[in-house]
Amino acid sequence: MGQDYYEILEINRNATDADIKKAYRRLARKFHPASNKEPGSYEKFRQLGEALDVLSDLHKKATYDKFGEDGLKGGIPIEFSKDGAWSTKYAYHDNPEKTFKEFFGSDNPFSDFYISDFPLQFGGLTPGENKIKDDPIERYLYLSLDDLYHGCTKKIKISRKVMNIDGCTSSIRDKILTVTVKPGWKEGTRITFPEEGDQGPNNIAADIVFIVQQKPHPVFERIDNDLIYHAQVSLEMALTGFSVEVETLDGRLINIPFNEIVHPLYKKVVPKEGMPLPDDPSQKGDLIFTFDIHFPEKLSAESKLLIKQALHY
């Protein structure tokens, strides 16, 4: 069953155009994001915008009244359009703020507060009184392991609503936020820019919070302050010895010999070749080698005999 636009606007199907607009004026102010932070209020605000968009247009309304939401959004055969019904498939632009602004002439639900037909719907507050701070806006900041090893600077462009000098209207402005990444930062590190969210006459702008997420690295896995290197070795190498050459994140080549027998659970720790410690970047975690030992898929009888002789105690 499709949406009931009349029910959304809390009117009956005999409502006049004036009734439709009066209902939208009342409810859109009530559920506008600047005045209502309750769960589900924004979806209600969006539904109100779509209901007005349909019912205030004679052709869309005629199609909806006769064929319902399915006919409106799915289109109807052309022969049904002789009575003025709209035959093109309808899709709401999903921008209820745009609908609100076109209807009221402003994106501020408080801009004509004192001349409204419903002067008490916001409890008699004038813009600016008893401001409530918006919930933080959280976004991931994806960084490479190299970024987190060396530290870096990231510049992030945001667009936000900024109040105009009149204190009632707002405009969209861009701003560059600069994040200074410190060596050793870990995934989950939070960087907060206080009150850099959308401004409004009756809210305190939200904090913008970036949460560090580490991109996968082709060579190393990070666990806390340690770096893990997964080495691929043959059974022969595991039993007879080998060396591994690794390029570190600061560009050095280190060669690590393995003379002992390497078994599947074997690990080798190379101290102070891991990640910088966030509190003291001059100190580092460890580089830890783990091993994936490749066994031969098959052996000849002669090879098996030689191995038995070699391993015989």
Residue 239: closest CA among 214, 217, 264: 264
What are the tens digits of pLDDT across the range 137-168? Answer: 999 999 999 999 999 999 999 988 888 877 77
Count CA atoms within 13 Å of residue 44 on its CB side. 20
**Whether the predicted model's global pTM rises above the 0.75 cut:** no
When the pLDDT of each residue in the chain is averaged and rounded to a whole number, the result is 85
Average pLDDT score over residue span 93-109: 81
Question: What pLDDT is recorded for position 121?
Answer: 34
Q: Does domain 134-214 have CATH number 2.60.260.20?
A: yes
108, two tokens: 């501020």
Question: Does 5-115 match 134-214 in CATH topology?
Answer: no
What are the tens digits of pLDDT across the range 276-308? Answer: 999 999 999 999 999 999 998 888 999 888 888
* Cross-strand bridge partners of residue 67: none
Q: Which CATH class is domain 5-115?
A: mainly alpha
Examine the pLDDT at 111 and tell me if it is beyond 70.
no
Q: Where are the domains of the chain?
A: 5-115, 134-214, 220-311
Q: Which CATH class is domain 220-311?
A: mainly beta
Question: What pLDDT is recorded for position 16?
Answer: 92
pLDDT-derived band at 110 (thresholds 50, 70, 90) equals low
